[in-house]
């Protein structure tokens, strides 16, 4: 790797501070590979008086993103002859055209994936076509030569246990499309290697917009040399930025971090992400940083079949149906933090998403035994009634309309999507009106329903939490038993993911069983960083979910005219108005 550093140093296109070098990283993890280092004794006094010291200045055209690749490819001076220029450009354009027409291509078209596609094309044509020298050097000596191991390498194995994690689901789709596009031209191992190398080295680099002052856009960019900087949030001493005058990428050292240093070698650390979401980091970078007091996160995605088969709650239908209809993302955010001198995992109950997860666990109102939620297994008739009211001319076909809704709802309830994308007219909430004190029922969305949680008395809130914990304990036990059966056959690369999840499960089960704090809010600590919530699963195509509990409730009423909406809502007309645009035929 040192020769790569020397190559760029000798090329004189990149500015290097003379204190900078490339060496094996000091991080105690075989994944850490090489890292950038500085020798503080080489800083001049006047440099140390500044807040930052510029370690690297990389001109925009030495970096690789969609924009710079196009500029390099359109520059005839990058090719030995006009003919070579034409030949390479024709070949690349034809490949891109073919790729764009590939089924499902648009679904996974991100800037990073497009960057991967360009490099896959370069790798597959470089024997027969000229590729601009800088691109080719980086492809051959950096991307194809470095050791890198991310979840992509063993995606097929990981997907058996993590296929319902949106990141893994998306990665699987992406890799299968790349395989479909390039497997006649490249080895599958090379496709995966190139993909891992690019996603683990890509940085989100800001760029000053030419059109508008003070506006910056961010682009997935590969930045030679800077991409040797390792991540460490607790020892971060440098960061990258752009020079707004010319969009050069800069690596800047925080002078404070080295001013007092007495050693002649300090590793340069940047932050790849302020939120250490361990699952995402494992997928993208193939490592997890050691816990050093900086909060770490894991978003656990519930196995959809477990939700489908969970029958312990007071609901009259399964949890999967509840979360689907109410658009509740079936994931729970976990956070690792130090508590009473010990670092362990907690449920991050400080987010609005967590409140939504609690909804099916609200206990019945104290003065009634009626459960809070009722699922209407004949809700296709509610749909049919509203449809006929919105379109009176369709009244005479009410039975047929009802049957169409029954089929539509059945498909939506059983398909692999997490959300139904249909008015929530299946679950009605039983609640006490705040003003009149009278008992009411209505179909609500999850946001409206969380107001019930917010108005709960302490006792009720405790009961809700404890119902959730008993569900969660069952889930953790189930998950541990399914993971344990699959670990033996998996290769080493993905072991870290499994080991990490076992640690989380054991921490939480121990805390629950010892009746110690499991909710992060009990620690009274404010989190300054939060990971973004992964999106719900949306496009599992024709995947249909099958429950272990076969006995599906058979609708007991098929006649829209004898259906009584008032059994489920006291606000039929309001709800009808709210969803009018869905029901109106034109």
Ligand X SMILES: C[S@@+](CC[C@H](N)C(=O)[O-])C[C@H]1O[C@@H](n2cnc3c(N)ncnc32)[C@H](O)[C@@H]1O
For ligand X, the closer of residues 286 and 360 by Cβ is: 286
Helices 155-162, 492-513: crossing angle, 10 deg rounding: 20
DSSP string, 181-240: HHTTTS-HHHHHHHHHHHHHH-EEEEEE-SSSTT-EEEEEEB-TTGGGPEE-STT--EEE
SS3 call for 46: helix
CB 135 within 8 A of CB 72: yes
Q: Interface with ligand X includes 291 (CB under 6 A)? A: no
Q: Interface with ligand X includes 204 (CB under 6 A)? A: no
Least distance to ligand X, CB of residue 26, Å: 10
Q: Interface with ligand X includes 31 (CB under 6 A)? A: yes
- 153-161, 279-287, 512-520, 552-560 -> range binding ligand X (CB under 6 A): 279-287
- 222-230, 389-397, 411-419, 555-563 -> range binding ligand X (CB under 6 A): 222-230
For ligand X, the closer of residues 156 and 290 by Cβ is: 290
For ligand X, the closer of residues 43 and 297 by Cβ is: 297
Q: Interface with ligand X includes 224 (CB under 6 A)? A: no
Q: State the Cα–Cα distance between residues 148 and 200, nearest whole angstrom.
A: 8
Q: Interface with ligand X includes 35 (CB under 6 A)? A: yes
Beta bridge partners of 204: 220
Q: Interface with ligand X includes 267 (CB under 6 A)? A: no
Give the H or E element holding residue 574: helix 572-578
Q: Sign of the CA dihedral 481, 485, 487, 491? A: negative
How does strand 276-277 pair with strand 296-301? parallel
Q: Could you say which DSSP state residue 362 is in?
A: P
Q: Interface with ligand X includes 29 (CB under 6 A)? A: yes
Burial of 480 (0-12, 13-18, 19+ CB in 10 A): middle
For 126, other C-beta atoms within 10 Å of its C-beta total 15
Least distance to ligand X, CB of residue 150, Å: 7
- 217-225, 228-236, 346-354, 450-458 -> range binding ligand X (CB under 6 A): 228-236
Q: State the Cα–Cα distance between residues 351 and 26, nearest whole angstrom.
A: 36
One residue of 153, 227, 248, 413 binding ligand X per CB under 6 A: 227
- 22-30, 180-188, 379-387, 444-452 -> range binding ligand X (CB under 6 A): 22-30
One residue of 287, 294, 375, 468 binding ligand X per CB under 6 A: 287
One residue of 285, 306, 361, 563 binding ligand X per CB under 6 A: 285
Least distance to ligand X, CB of residue 112, Å: 14
SS3 call for 342: strand
Sheet of 15-16, strands arranged across: 15-16, 52-58, 248-254, 238-243
Q: Interface with ligand X includes 327 (CB under 6 A)? A: no
For ligand X, the closer of residues 276 and 303 by Cβ is: 276
Tell me the site size for ligand X, rule CB under 6 A.
21
Least distance to ligand X, CB of residue 142, Å: 8
Q: Interface with ligand X includes 91 (CB under 6 A)? A: no
- 128-136, 283-291, 460-468, 537-545 -> range binding ligand X (CB under 6 A): 283-291
**φ and ψ of 344, to 5 deg:** -155, 175
Least distance to ligand X, CB of residue 278, Å: 12
List the one residue out of 486, 525, 535 whose CA is nearest residue 340: 525
Least distance to ligand X, CB of residue 141, Å: 12
Q: Could you say which DSSP state residue 420 is in?
A: -
Q: Interface with ligand X includes 195 (CB under 6 A)? A: no
For ligand X, the closer of residues 221 and 301 by Cβ is: 221
For 455, other C-beta atoms within 10 Å of its C-beta total 12
One residue of 228, 302, 354, 568 binding ligand X per CB under 6 A: 228
Q: Interface with ligand X includes 201 (CB under 6 A)? A: yes
- 11-19, 74-82, 280-288, 365-373 -> range binding ligand X (CB under 6 A): 280-288
One residue of 21, 26, 32, 500 binding ligand X per CB under 6 A: 32
Q: State the Cα–Cα distance between residues 170 and 195, nearest whole angstrom.
A: 14
Q: Indicate the residue whose CB is closest to ligand X.
A: 33
CB 200 within 8 A of CB 91: no
Contact positions vs ligand X (CB under 6 A): 25, 27, 29, 31-35, 146, 148, 200-201, 227-228, 230-232, 285-287, 289
């Amino acid at each position: 790797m040192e020769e790569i550093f020397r190559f760029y140093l000798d090329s004189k296109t990149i500015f290097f501070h003379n204190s900078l070098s490339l060496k094996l990283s000091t991080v105690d993890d075989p994944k850490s590979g090489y890292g950038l280092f500085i020798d503080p004794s080489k800083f001049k006094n006047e440099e140390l008086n500044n807040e930052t010291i510029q370690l690297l200045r990389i001109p925009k055209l030495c970096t690789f993103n969609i924009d710079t690749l196009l500029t390099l490819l359109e520059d005839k001076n990058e090719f030995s002859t006009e003919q070579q220029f034409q030949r390479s450009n024709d070949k690349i354009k034809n490949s891109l055209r073919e790729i764009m027409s590939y089924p499902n291509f648009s679904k996974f078209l991100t800037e990073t994936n497009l960057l991967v596609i360009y490099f896959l094309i370069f790798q597959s044509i470089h024997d027969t076509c000229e590729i601009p020298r800088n691109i080719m050097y980086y492809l051959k000596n950096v991307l194809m030569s470095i050791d890198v191991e991310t979840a992509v390498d063993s995606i097929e194995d990981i997907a058996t246990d993590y296929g319902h994690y949106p990141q893994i689901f998306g990665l699987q789709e992406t890799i299968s499309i790349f395989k479909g596009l390039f497997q006649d031209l490249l080895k599958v191992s090379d496709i995966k290697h190139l993909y891992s190398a690019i996603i683990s080295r890509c940085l989100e680099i800001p760029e000053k917009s030419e059109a508008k002052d003070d506006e910056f856009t961010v682009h997935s960019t590969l930045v030679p040399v800077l991409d040797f900087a390792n991540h460490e949030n607790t020892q971060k001493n440098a960061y990258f930025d752009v020079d707004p005058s010319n969009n050069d990428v800069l690596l800047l050292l925080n002078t404070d971090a080295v001013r007092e240093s007495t050693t002649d070698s300090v590793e340069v650390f940047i932050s790849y992400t302020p939120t250490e979401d361990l699952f995402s980091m494992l997928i993208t970078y193939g490592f997890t940083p050691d816990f050093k007091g900086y909060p770490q996160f894991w978003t656990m995605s519930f196995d959809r079949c477990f939700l489908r088969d969970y029958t312990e709650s007071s609901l009259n239908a399964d949890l999967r149906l509840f979360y689907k209809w109410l658009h509740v993302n079936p994931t729970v955010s976990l956070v690792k933090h130090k508590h009473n001198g010990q670092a362990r995992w907690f449920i991050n109950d400080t987010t609005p998403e967590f409140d939504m997860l609690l909804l099916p666990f609200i206990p019945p109102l104290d003065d009634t035994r009626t459960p809070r939620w009722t699922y209407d297994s004949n809700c296709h008739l509610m749909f049919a009634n509203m449809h006929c009211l919105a379109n009176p001319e369709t009244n005479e076909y009410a039975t047929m309309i009802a049957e169409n809704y029954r089929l539509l709802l059945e498909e939506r309830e059983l398909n692999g999507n997490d959300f139904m994308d249909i008015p929530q007219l299946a679950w009605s909430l039983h609640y006490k009106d705040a003003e009149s004190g009278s008992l009411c029922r209505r179909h609500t969305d999850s946001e409206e329903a969380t107001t019930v949680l917010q108005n709960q008395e302490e006792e009720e809130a405790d009961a809700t939490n404890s119902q959730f914990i008993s569900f969660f304990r069952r889930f953790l036990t189930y998950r541990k038993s399914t993971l344990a059966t699959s670990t033996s056959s998996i290769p080493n690369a993905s072991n870290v993911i499994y080991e990490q999840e076992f640690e989380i499960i054991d921490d939480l089960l121990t805390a629950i069983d010892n009746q110690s704090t499991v909710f992060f809010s009990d620690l009274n600590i404010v989190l300054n960083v939060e990971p973004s919530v992964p999106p719900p699963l949306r496009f599992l195509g024709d995947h249909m979910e099958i429950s272990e509990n076969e006995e599906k409730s058979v609708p007991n009423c098929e006649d829209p005219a004898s259906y009584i909406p008032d059994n489920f809502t006291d606000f039929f007309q309001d709800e009808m108005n709210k969803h009018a645009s869905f029901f109106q035929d034109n």
